[in-house]
Structure 1
Amino acid sequence: MKMMSLIVPCYNEEPTVPIFFDAVEKVFANNPDTFKDVRHEYLFINDGSSDATLTEFRKLHTAHPELVHYLSFSRNFGKEAGLAAGLQHANGDYVAVMDVDLQDPPELLPQMLSLLESGNYDCVGTMREDRKSEPAIRSFLSRSFYTVINKVSKVQIIPNARDYRLMTRQMVDAILELPEYNRFSKGIFNWVGFRTTYLKFKNAPRAAGETHWSFWQLFNYSIEAIVDFSDVPLKIATFTGGLFAFLSIIGMIIVIARKLLLGNSVSGWASVVTIMLFIGGIQLFCLGIIGNYIGKIYLETKHRPQYIIQEKK
């Protein structure tokens, strides 16, 4: 009998854990024919929660020791670390990645499994049909992010795609061969290739609690994704620096020619200072881009672990 591992990263999700568990168990109970040859297990990841999320994991493990397993980090390492830990410790022939807030509908699992078992696909991902429940500014920025990253990166990211997906063991093993410290899972899932199809679903509110992603965190996550999967920002910095170096040479020639031909000093100090400040800003902008890449190289060369496990069941 094959095994399906459900990876569920959690951060301060105390109220949602039991709701999620009951909802997913109901799906398995209601589809006995689909899952007759597949048993399942849960692998919850406690990403340094400050509430009683870990307590909920312990309760579930005590009640279902063969069904529920968990990893608890020593501190908050971020969702990407949680996903990496889950993939590294999952033993299933099929591996699913899910959010605990039930915005990833577990009702899709039977259809996802059927598609994988057909042999036509190695991965079944999911994507939202719309973003109606989100603030307009957040939806606009999300669309802008996908537009930008798909223009500057060779790896195409599906707009509105979720991390929620079911993968074969072969695809998971391929993902595990990527050892980088800086990770953007949506890009990694696409970078490794394999035959992938997507199921659409309507956006749903959280089952309980509140989102822990602030606007600033999402913005930083977007920047990380672009830097991780494209060197175009470096090319932009190089082009911008070269352009302004060329313009400065033209400007020098004009100033010298004016002095030699007209014999008067150059007027307009305000405009000169403005131009200098503008060019200085461009230089700092380019240095910031380069610094971001250097910072990532620095983190990679340290070879620090992506996470530290404090408790494991």
Structure 2
Amino acid sequence: MSKTISIVIPCFNEQESIFLFYDAVEKVKPSLRGYDIEYVFVNDGSKDQTLNILRKLHQKDEKSIHYLSFSRNFGKEAALYAGLQASKGDYVAVMDVDLQDPPAQLIPMLEGIEDEGYDIVGTRRMNRKGEPMIRSFFSQLFYKMINKISHTQFLNGVRDFRLMTRQVVNAVLQMSEYNRFSKGLFSWVGFDVKYLEYSNRDRIAGKTSWSFWGLFKYSIEGIVNFSEMPLAIASYTGLVSFIISLVSILFIILRKIFFGGSVNGWASMISVILLIGGIQLFCLGILGRYIGNLYLEAKRRPIYIIKEKN
């Protein structure tokens, strides 16, 4: 009985890329040691012709092409989770449809698992050529920060593009939390991992749906999901603020007793009040973020809703 590699492909407004992606993977298929390919496309509420193209592609290759279509846009994390749940292959790959993840890497990935005994073979960009400088700067800053405050380690430049054994996929699927950060989940489950390095590539077609603000919110989600350090920072900030205020009060009292200094001055008083109030709001914001995540988890809403599947 032949073995199968499932490829999970989230899609959001990717009408220009789908056929190009399929053709590129099919060219690599003869080099994959006789493995069959199962394509699991996940249409994440696209507003263009993505769903119609997936229907046509399924008609072209009914045996290999499978797709899920969400009732609305639930985000890439939900699409990845749905695709992993739907996959049936012995090995499972996660890829972007824009061909920034080169299909030819599937060959050494498969070798890494079958010949070298790894459970996961992922990819890591050696550079960020072609990205805006400000995005690259904040991305590197994010990795430095999260590795200092989280027990789960994140390598800079690691992509979602990876090939995994069925055992790894089952482990990831056991974590059914609503607030998901896949890079952290793939790292948290452990197993033996190898990374292949390659140069950054431009999209083959279309435009990215990731804005700077979207990436920023995604990074905050990663920090909140994989570190309790912000809560400790809030506590330390409150403690430091209390000590500074206490010292200031003692200084004013002693100055009045020994030197007769004046305590007048509404401007300085307002400045202190605003400083302390700002610190309090900052700490409340951190607490609110964690409480908000707890609230979403407690409601137990589905991670995604499927409107159509073949």
Q: How does 1:54-133 map to 2 (within 5 A)?
A: 54-133=51-130
Q: Distance in 1 between matches of 2:47 and 2:219?
A: 26
- The one of 287, 292, 295 aligned to 1:295: 292
Q: How does 1:216-227 map to 2 (within 5 A)?
A: 216-227=213-224
CA apart distance, 1:263: 4.7
**What's 2:20 paired with?**
19
> Moved runs in structure 1, 4+ residues, more than 6 A?
none
CA apart distance, 1:249: 1.7
Q: Distance in 1 between matches of 2:174 and 2:82?
A: 13
The share of aligned pairs that are identical, in percent, is: 57
Aligned length: 309
Corresponding letter in the other structure for 1:156:
Q
**What's 1:254 paired with?**
251
Deviations 1:21-58 (A, max 9, x none): 001001113x1xx422x211100000000000001110
Corresponding letter in the other structure for 1:42:
Y
CA apart distance, 1:272: 2.4
Q: Distance in 2 between matches of 1:106 and 1:264?
A: 75
SS at match of 2:127: coil
Unaligned runs of 5+ in 1: none
Q: Distance in 1 between matches of 2:260 and 2:209?
A: 66
Corresponding letter in the other structure for 2:287:
I
SS at match of 2:194: strand
Q: Distance in 1 between matches of 2:251 and 2:197?
A: 60
CA apart distance, 1:304: 0.2
SS at match of 1:83: helix
- The one of 4, 27, 48 aligned to 1:51: 48
Corresponding letter in the other structure for 1:5:
S
CA apart distance, 1:252: 2.0
**What's 1:155 paired with?**
152
Unaligned runs of 5+ in 2: none
Q: How does 1:115-264 map to 2 (within 5 A)?
A: 115-263=112-260
**What's 1:304 paired with?**
301
CA apart distance, 1:240: 0.4
Q: Distance in 2 between matches of 1:247 and 1:20?
A: 59
CA apart distance, 1:19: 0.5
Deviations 1:193-226 (A, max 9, x none): 0000000111111010011101100110111110
SS at match of 1:13: coil
For normalisation by structure 2, the TM-score amounts to: 0.97
RMSD, matched Cα: 1.1
Corresponding letter in the other structure for 2:205:
A
Which stretch of the first structure deviates more once superposed, 275-284 or 232-241? 275-284
